[in-house]
Chain A
Amino acid sequence: MTKTADVLAFERNVTKALDDGQLRRNLRSAMTTLSQRRRALFADVEAFEKLRTQGQSIRRRALSRLPELLEQLEARCTANGIQVHWAETTAEANAICLDIIRRHGAQRVIKGKSMVSEEMHLNHFLEEQGIEALETDLGEYIIQLDGETPSHIIVPAIHKNKDQIAHLFHDRIPDAPYTEVVEELNAIARQELREKFRAGEVGVSGVNFAVAETGTLCLVENEGNGRMCTTAPPVHIALMGLEKVVEKLQDVPPLLRLLTGSATGQPITTYFNMITAPRRPGELDGPREVHLVILDNGRSSIYGDPERRATLQCIRCGACLNHCPIYTRLGGHAYGHVYPGPIGSILTPQLEGLDEAGVMASASTFCGACEEVCPVKIPFTEILRMLRNEAYARGESEHDVKGHGYRYTTVEALSWKSWALYNTSPGLARIGSQILGKLGQHLPMIGPLKEWTRTRIPPPFAPKSLHQLAQERGLDDDR
């Protein structure tokens, strides 16, 4: 995508989202509820601050030893009987999954919710290979029925209301009656999916935390579909981004508390599922094969820069989305990429390149709400600012973000050079400010000025500069 196309596509999405009254109402109600629930759970501010410092410390400790911990995780998992695969790109990860699925002659996989699988576009890839990938999380099931992608990383169908879902179920599920009763919609989905769980050949899931010291894969969920996908089929494939590893089992309780509390205001989810091995001799159920796919897809380059590395602290709770003045008005689809909201704005340009997704870093007011609620204290605004700078950094850049310098233009670079010259040459500045004081009101509104004044009233230039005023009061230049 060229930079103009990228910017224009985003602007079009923004306008479309803002004009969609139904979307705005659905989002407002949901985001208000989620943030209120979170606030109620973490009502003791002092205790919460301690807890999140603990979360930050755990995540940063893990990242500071990431290569060792990944090796330890691999060794423990292997010893437990879990087969570990490494993928540099999403294409490699998809190929690994396909190979496992083909080896078992499976026609269909059942999926628990996984953002990494979205990042891989796994469903689309498998469909092209003639394999059905069925989403089983209710929210994911809803959007899959409608051919959509998640608009939120925790509540993927939050942009839809129950009337829209009622129509969707009635239209797309054979024999489904029309109902707007949430319990009944839920029962329809339960019935539809139950048979699929029974007959499931391969289950696919994400990973919330991978514990290096024990080789344990932890999964957080409420519906039981995650347990179904990881227990009922003979094969389980778990997908994780390489940053998901934690050092110790005792690191899990605080992170779990922070994750469920920040995401939905729950003290814990219905199920916390810790998987350490495939079915052991004598056991009667559980998959006979468990595979862990560790995906890089640009994460190792983020890791290389200590300032950017904080991006990888994320535990994907979605609190930054729920509190973002931009996300709560646009929803996730306007961002045009898998990860929306503040985390998407800092992660996606680094994964895909600034030239692909750099515009996402502009989707911020710098209000810092994301930073205030983040359970692991990711310095969002610092990273956003760095990404905006990198967008203009031609040639070698300090942080070497993929696609940096894509917004560099000679005109803009010259303008800033002139600005610097103007401000460092007293004579030039004096003459310039006198001219602007007299003629500033009549500047032609073209180019960037036209763009800037599209939504702003241009401030009048003062007839005299501060320097002039100071001189008139008898102040000396050197004091």
Chain B
Amino acid sequence: MTANARANILSRLRATTTQGSFAVPDAPVIAGLALSLEERIDRLRRMLETMHAEVQVVSSSAWLGALKARLRARGLNGLLYGAETPLGAALEAAWEDDLPPLVPYSESVEQCREQLFHIDAGITTTRGAIAENGALILWPSAAEPRLMSLTPGLHIAVLEAGMIFNTFAEAIDQQAWLQEGMPTNALLISGPSKTADIELTLTFGVHGPKELVVFILT
């Protein structure tokens, strides 16, 4: 059935029934944003905050302290992390007993589905961010699987300030997405999950994380 469908559809598309032309207008050149690093950090922060993300700009040496201060006393049942990443190693080295236990995502989802859907928080790295529309870039991997940034109610994302690009197009270009080959799943994330499906009233925390905390490391 499908083989015929394919041939039939393609042959119909190749047979134009009437005369006439289908002009393609020239695409105008649009100058993208060209902001300084400071401006990119500032714009990203503002846009993320508008979308109810919490953003903390902090030095690479002080950020773990800031993270711990934020997590202490929140009574979270665990922090999901990727043990095989440099971030994971840094967390393990710095972790203390009065903090929510670190839970590595190390088995396939079939083995740990229950836990994934009940853990309170998850922490991931990011591949970069986009200043123009205020979004983080995530490329989940074997070391940091896809559900880490989705099932926990609190998603903590760690971003190197130097990886903030002006625009989405610039990120694709400068990070050589095409040359490198697309990952199984790439994501842009601009805040905690939200909906406006009831009377257009904006509400945060639907099926994805209810909170997004972003550490921008300078």
Which residues of A are in contact with B by a Cβ distance under 8 Å? 26, 29-30, 33-34, 47, 50-51, 53-54, 56-58, 60-61, 63-64, 66-67, 70-71, 85-88, 92, 95-96, 136-139, 142, 155-158, 160-162, 165, 182-183, 185-187, 189-190, 193-194, 197-198, 213-216, 222-225, 227-228, 231-232, 242, 249-250, 252-254, 256-257, 264, 267-280, 282-286, 294, 296, 300-301, 303-307, 309, 398-400
Contact = CB atoms under 8 A, between A and B. Distances in A.
Given A227-B150, A253-B169, A275 B18 contact: no
A293 B70 CA distance: 45
Contact of B194 (A67, A214, A270, A278): A270
B28 A53 contact: yes
A30 B200 contact: yes
Query: Which of A86, A197, A198, A213 has the most CB atoms of chain B within a 10 A radius of its CB?
Result: A86
B184 A67 contact: no
B190 interface: yes
B133 to A, nearest CB: 4
Interface in B26-85: 26-28, 30, 47, 51
A270 B192 CA distance: 7
A224 B190 CA distance: 12
A400 B12 contact: no
A89 to B, nearest CB: 9
B109 interface: yes
Contact of B178 (A85, A213, A303): A213
B184 A280 contact: yes
13 contacts: A29-B200, A54-B27, A54-B28, A56-B25, A142-B197, A186-B203, A252-B168, A274-B186, A283-B142, A284-B107, A285-B109, A285-B145, A301-B17
Given A190-B207, A267-B133, A283-B142, A304 B17 contact: yes
A223 B206 contact: yes
Main secondary structure of the interface of A (DSSP, over half): helix
A237 to B, nearest CB: 14
Interface residues of B, number: 78
Contact of A273 (B26, B187, B198, B203): B187
A332 to B, nearest CB: 14
B150 A284 contact: no
A304 B10 contact: no
A267 B190 CA distance: 10
B191 interface: yes
Nearest to A166: B198
A223 B185 CA distance: 17
B25 to A, nearest CB: 5
A65 to B, nearest CB: 9
Nearest to A198: B117
B141 interface: yes
Contacts, number: 262
A253 B172 contact: yes
Contacts of A272: 135, 187-188
B128 interface: no
Nearest to A215: B182
Interface of B: 1-2, 5-6, 8-10, 12-18, 20-28, 30, 47, 51, 105-109, 113-114, 117, 132-135, 141-142, 145-147, 150-151, 167-169, 172-173, 177-178, 182-201, 203, 205-209
Contact of B18 (A71, A96, A197, A398): A398
B136 to A, nearest CB: 11
A109 to B, nearest CB: 16
B210 to A, nearest CB: 9
A252 B178 CA distance: 13
Contacts of B203: 182-183, 186
Given A61-B24, A138-B197, A223-B206, A232 B147 contact: yes
A87 B5 contact: yes
Given A64-B24, A67-B14, A264-B196, A214 B187 contact: no
Nearest to B106: A284
Nearest to A223: B206
A71 B11 CA distance: 12
B18 A225 contact: no
A70 B198 CA distance: 37
Given A34-B200, A157-B198, A224 B209 contact: yes
A202 B199 CA distance: 30
B13 A307 contact: no
Contacts of A276: 182-186
Contacts of B9: 70, 86, 88, 242, 294, 296, 300
B30 A50 contact: yes
B199 A162 contact: yes
In order of increasing CB-CB distance, the 5 nearest A-B pairs are A224-B208, A139-B197, A306-B20, A300-B12, A224-B193
B117 to A, nearest CB: 5
B189 A270 contact: yes
B20 A186 contact: no
A156 B200 CA distance: 11
A214 B178 contact: yes
A222 B133 contact: no
A401 to B, nearest CB: 11
A304 B18 contact: yes
Contacts of A95: 1
B199 A96 contact: no
